[in-house]
Structure 1
Amino acid sequence: MNLFENESDSFEGKSDNKNQPLATRMRPVSLDEFVGQNHLVGEGKMLQRMIDSGVIGSLIFYGPPSSGKTTLAYVISNEIDARFEVINAVLDGIKELRNVVAKAEHQKKANGRKTILFVDEIHRWNKAQQDALLPHLESGIITLVGATTENPFYSLVNPLLSRCQLFELFPLTRDNVEEMIDRALADEERGLGYLKIEVSQEAKLYFAENAGGDVRNALNALEVAALSTAKDKHGFVRITLDIAKESIQKRNVRYDRTGDEHYHYASAFIKSMRGSDVNAALYWMSAMLEGGEDPNFIFRRMLIFASEDVGMADPYALTVVNSAHESFMKTGMPEGLYFLSHAAIFLSLSAKSNSTKAIFDTNSIIREKGVKDVPQHLKDKTANKLASQYLDVKNASDDYKYPHSYPNSWVDQQYLPDEINDKSWYEGGNTGREKKLWERLNILKNKLGKS
C-alpha cells in the first residue's frame, strides 16, 4: 500500500457531500468563485498575476477571522495544481510538519507536483516551531501559506517574514455576503438550488448584515432557515424577515480580546474621545463590550485618558471617571452601561490638554544628565541648622522665602538646581480650567516678580 495515497487535503472531492454544512459545500474552489479581496485577486493585482504565472512563493495572509484566508490558500493550490496540506498551529507541531515534508518529498520525486502547506493560526507556533519551517522553504520542498489574525510583524520571527510575501485581507462586505447567499440559492449541486426557495429582500439583507462579514455564519443560518421552514401549498419554502431573525439571532461581532482587534478598537475609542467625537467614542466602546471586552479594561483606559488627554484642562475628569468606575463595581451590568457611557461622554466633551506629558520630558533629562544638587535654601531646615551650628557657617534656610508670607502666596525664587535653572518642561494649555490657572500664575509673575 502506498502510504502517500491518502492526502490530508480536507477539501478535495467533498464539496458535493450533502451531509456537510452549506458553508462548507459552497467553499470556492477556483479564483472565479472567490469573493472579496479584490485588492489582491482583482484583475491585474499582484496575487492574481502570481497565480496566472504559476509562480507562487511562500505567503503570509493576515486579517480578521472569516476574511477568506483558508479558502484563498486552497484556491491557489487548485489553480496551480498543487497538493494542499493543512496544519493547525494550535493542535499540530513539528512532528506533523515532518510528516508533511516527507510526503511532499515523495510527491516531488514521483511526479514533480508541488505541495502547498497551509498553517492556520501560524502565530500560535513558538520561535523554534517557526524556525523549523525555514530549511524546507529554502529547499523548495514545500510552499508555505500561513494564516494569522495577529499582526505578523509582532507574532512571526524575522527569518520567516523575510522568506514570505505578506498580504493583508480585509473583512468581507455586506455585498460580498449577499453574493454568496445568491450563489447558494442558485447552485443545485452544492447549494440549495434543488429546493424551491424564496427569500425576501429584507430577510436576505438581515442575513448579510448580521453575519458580521462572516459568510459561514450567513450560509449556515440560511440553511437552518431553509430546512426548518415548511413548504407552502405550492411547494415553496418562503423565508421571511421573521424567520431570518430566528435563524441568526445574534449579530456576529468581529472581536478578539487578545488579538489585534482588541488594540484596534481600543485605539479607535481613545482617538475618538481625543477628537471630541462623542458618537464615535460610544460606538467603539459598544463594539468592545459587545465583543466581550472586560468593562474594567475600558475604565482603566478612560482613567489614563483623564490625565493624559484631558489633564489640567479639567482636573475634575479624574474624579468623574473614578466615581463612574466605583458606581459600576457596585451595580454591575446592564445598569453599569450608564456609568460607562457617562464617563465616555464626559471625556469626549471635556476641554483637552496633554500638558501632563511634561513629566516624561523631565524624566528624560534626569536619565540623561543625572540629578543635580538641591539648592542650599531648599534643603531640609533641620539639616541646615545643624550644619550652621557645627560648621560655623550661615544657615542657608534663612534665605528661603516662605510663599505664604507674600501677597497671593507667591514670591520669585529659584527652585531648580543652578545648572538647569533656565529649563522649562511644562507648557500651560490654553483651554478649560488650565488656561485660567496658567494665566493667574503669569499675572503673579509679571506683577510681583520677574516676567
Structure 2
Amino acid sequence: MTDLFATQPRAPLAEQLRPESLDDVVGQSHLLGPGRPLRLALDGRRLHSFILWGPPGVGKTTIARLAAKAFDYEFIAESAVAAGVKELREAAARAQQALDHHGRSTVLFLDEIHRLNKSQQDALLPHVENGRLTLIGATTENPSFEVNSALLSRAQVYVLKPLSDAELRQLYARAQPSLEGPAFEEPALEAVIGFADGDGRKFLNLVEQLANAAVAAGVERIDGGFVSSASAATTRRFDKGGEAFYDQISALIKSARGSDPDAALYWMARMIDGGVDVRYLARRIIILASEEVGNADPRALQVAVNASEAYERLGSPEGELALAQALVYIAVAPKSNAVSVAWHQALSFVRSDRTRPVPLHLRNAPTQLMKDLGYKKDYRYAHDEPDAYAAGEHYFPEDVPEQRWYQPVPRGLETKIADKLDHLRKLDFEMRKKEKR
C-alpha cells in the first residue's frame, strides 16, 4: 500500500540554504567574525543566554540553532506569541529530563521574545537563573523596552544588521545551483536586492518565485522588465509601532531641528512610503513648530496647524504636500526651545512644591463677602497703568520669588521679545526701588 505522506514537500529555497555551521552564515561579521563578540562567546566552553535583536530575515533563528548544535544542546523552539506560562514550564520540565537522563543541557529559543508579558517573563526567569534553560531570544523590537531588567541582566544582547547588497549577492551565488531557468541579469538582480531591503529570507523567496515564474512563462532571460512585471509592489522596512518607527520619527525631528529641510523630507517620505498613519506625522509637525521654533517665529505653529487641516480636507496623497510645506518651513525657521524649556521648568517646580493659595489681590470678588474678605484688594489693573504695565506688581504666590524660566534666544522674533522683557524688568526695578524709599 502506498503511503501518501511518505514523500516530503520540497523545502523553500531559503530553508534549503540554511547554513550548517557558523562559518556558513552570510552577514553579521561584526558578531561572528574572528575575534568578534558572539564568535568568542560561542568558541568558549559554555553557552550563555543571549538575545538577538535585529530586523527580519538576517539570521536570528539560524544563529540560535547553530549555537545549540555547536554545544550539542537540546533545542526547544517556541514562539512568544503562542507560548504561555504553561508552555514555558513544560519546556523547563523537558530540560530537566534531558539533563537527568542524558546529561544534556537545553537551549530554549523564544522567537519574538518582546511579546512575553510580565507573568511569562517571571515564570521563565528562575529556570534561566539556575541554568536549567539557556535562553536565546529573537526580537525585532528594542529589548530594553520590552524585556524586564531581571531577564536582561542574565542575557547578553547582540544587535544584528540588515544584510548588505554584497551579502545578498553572496546568497544569490549560493542559490544559483538550486534554481531552475535562466540566470538573473544584473539590472534584474539589482531590482530584487532593492525589493529585499536587507532581508535575506525575503530576497531568497523573491529569487525563487521569479525563477519559477520565468520557467512557467518560458522566458529566456530574467531582466529588469520581467522583475517589475512579475513582482508585487513592496514597501521598505517599517514597523508602525516598533523600533524602526521611533528611529525614523527621531531622525525626522532631529533633521528639522538641525535646519536641514531635505533630510527632514527624506525621513517623512520614508515613513509615508512605509505606511505610517499620516495624521500622526501631522501631529508631530505641529509639536515641532512649538517645541523647536516657538516664539522665534510664531507663524510656524499656524503653518503647521493649517497643514494638518489641509490634510484632513484632502487626504493622501494631495494633503501630504501641505505637510511637506509645513515641515520645510519649520526646518528653515529660526529655532528656539525657550518656551519648551520654560514650560518644563514650571511643571517641575509646581510638582515639587507644596500647594500654595492664590494671593488675595489676584482673586476675583464677584460677591460682597469676597470683597469684605479682601479678595481683589489693591489689585492694579494693567490697562489703567502707563504703557498698560503695572510695574513692580507681583503675580506669584506669597513666599515664591519671581522666576525667570522663559529666556528668549537671540534669534527671530524672540530678539524683540527679549528687548521688551528687559524694558519691563527695568520698570519693575525702578518701581520697587521707589517703594523702598
Q: Is this contact kept in 2: 1:65–1:254, CA < 8 A? A: no
SS in 1 for 2:399: helix
SS of residue matched to 1:116: strand
Alpha-carbon distance between aligned partners in 2 of 1:262 and 1:346, rounded to the nearest angstrom: 23
Q: Give 1:207 deviation, angstroms.
A: 1.4
Q: CA deviation at 1:317?
A: 1.8
From 292, 298, 317, the equivalent of 1:334 is 317
Match of 2:117 in 1: 126
Which residue in the other structure is 1:402 paired with? Answer: 381
Mapped to 1, the partners of 2:63 and 2:275 lie a distance apart of 29
Report how far residue 295 of structure 1 moved.
1.0
Percent same amino acid among aligned pairs?
Answer: 38
Paired amino acid for 2:67: I
Q: Secondary structure at the match of 2:109?
A: strand
**Do the aligned partners of 1:312 and 1:353 also contact (CA within 8 Å) in 2?**
yes
The separation in 1 between residues aligned to 2:337 and 2:89, in whole angstroms, is: 54
- Does residue 149 in structure 1 map to residue 132 in structure 2? no
Corresponding residue for residue 9 of structure 1: none
Residue number among 238, 262, 267 corresponding to 2:245 in the alignment: 262
Equivalence map 1:120-269=2 (5 Å): 120-185=111-176, 188=177, 191-192=178-179, 195=180, 197-230=182-215, 237-269=220-252
Mapped pair 1:362 → 2:346: yes
1:200-239 deviations in whole A, cap 9, x for unaligned? 2222122112211111111111112212214999xx9522
Q: Secondary structure at the match of 2:420?
A: helix
Name structure 1 gaps, 5 residues minimum: 1-16
214-223 vs 399-408, greater mean Cα deviation: 399-408
Deviating more after overlay: 360-369 vs 255-264: 360-369
Paired residue secondary structure (2:183): strand
Distance 1:30-1:431 versus aligned 2 partners, 3 A rule: same
SS of the residue 1:408 aligns to:
helix
Is 1:424 aligned with 2:404?
A: yes
Q: Take 2:201 and 2:252, find their aligned partners in 1: how far apart are those partners?
A: 29
Out of 16, 20, 25, the residue aligned to residue 25 of structure 1 is 16
Query: Contact (CA 8 Å) 2:58, 2:201: kept in 1 or not?
Result: no
Match of 2:393 in 1: 414
Q: Deviation string for 1:70-100 (max 9, x for gaps)?
A: 1211121232233322101112223333443
- Whole-angstrom CA distance in 2 between matches of 1:146 and 1:80: 17
- 2:3 is aligned to none
Instruction: Note the alpha carbon deviations across 1:88-135, whole angstroms, 9 max, x for none.
Output: 111222333344344433433443333222110112121221222233
* Residue 184 (structure 1) shift: 1.1
Matched, 1:436 2:424: no
Determine if contact 1:42/1:48 at 8 Å carries over to the other structure.
yes
1: CA distance, partners of 2:13 / 2:336: 54
Write the distance in 2 (CA, Å) between the matches of 1:440 and 1:135.
64
Aligned-residue offset at 1:254: 1.6
Tell me, yes or no, if structure 1 residue 59 matches structure 2 residue 50.
yes
Q: What SS does the aligned partner of 2:226 have?
A: helix
Relative distance call for 1:206 and 1:450 in structure 2 (3 A) is farther
TM-aligned CA distance change 1:382 to 1:132, over 3 Å: closer
Kindly state the Cα deviation for residue 139 of structure 1 after the two structures are TM-superposed.
4.1
Distance 1:113 1:246 in 2: 52
Superposed CA deviations along residues 411-439 of structure 1, whole A, max 9, x for unmatched, are 41222345334432111122112222222
Name the CA distance, whole Å, in 2 between partners of 1:204 and 1:359: 54
CA contact (8 A) 2:181 2:212 kept: no
Alpha-carbon distance, 1:386 to partner? 6.0
SS at match of 1:431: coil
For the residue of structure 2 that corresponds to 1:420, the secondary structure is coil
Cα offset, 1:261, TM superposition:
1.7
Say if 1:51 and 1:197 are closer, same or farther in 2 by CA, change over 3 A.
Answer: farther
The answer to which of 65-74 and 412-421 deviates more is 412-421
For 1:197, the aligned partner's letter is: P
Amino acid aligned to 1:287: R
Partner Cα distance (2:216, 2:358) in 1: 89
- Residue 326 of structure 1 aligns with an amino acid whose one-letter code is E
Aligned pair count reads 422
Structural mapping, 1:287-326, within 5 Å: 287-326=270-309
How many angstroms apart in 1 are the aligned matches of 2:21 and 2:9? Answer: 20
Q: CA distance change for structure 1 residues 248 and 82 in 2, over 3 Å: closer, same or farther? A: farther
> What displacement does 1:240 show?
0.9
Cα separation, partners in 2 of 1:91 and 1:422, compared to 1, 3 Å: closer
8 Å Cα contact 1:401-1:413 kept in structure 2: no
Sort the Cα spacing of 1:128 and 1:262 in 2 relative to 1 into closer, same or farther, 3 A.
Answer: same
Query: 2:435 is matched with which residue?
Result: none
- Of 210-219 and 127-136, more deviation after overlay is shown by 127-136
Query: CA shift at 1:372, angstroms?
Result: 4.3
Do 2:95 and 2:132's aligned partners in 1 also have CA atoms closer than 8 Å? yes
3-state SS of the aligned residue for 1:147?
Answer: strand
Distance 1:363-1:105 versus aligned 2 partners, 3 A rule: closer
> Matches of 1:177 and 1:227 in 2, distance apart?
19
Contact in 2 for aligned 1:310/1:350 (Cα 8 Å) = yes
Instruction: State the superposition RMSD in angstroms.
Output: 2.8
Deviation at 1:64, TM superposition (A): 2.1
Q: TM-score, normalised by structure 2?
A: 0.87
Q: 1:81 to 1:248 in 2, by over 3 A?
A: farther
Q: Could you list the per-position Cα deviations for residues 37-69 of structure 1 after superposition, in whole angstroms to 9, with x for gaps in the alignment?
A: 222111101210222224211111122222321
TM-score, with length taken from structure 1:
0.85
Secondary structure of 2:107's counterpart equals strand
Q: 1:72 to 1:450 in 2, by over 3 A?
A: farther
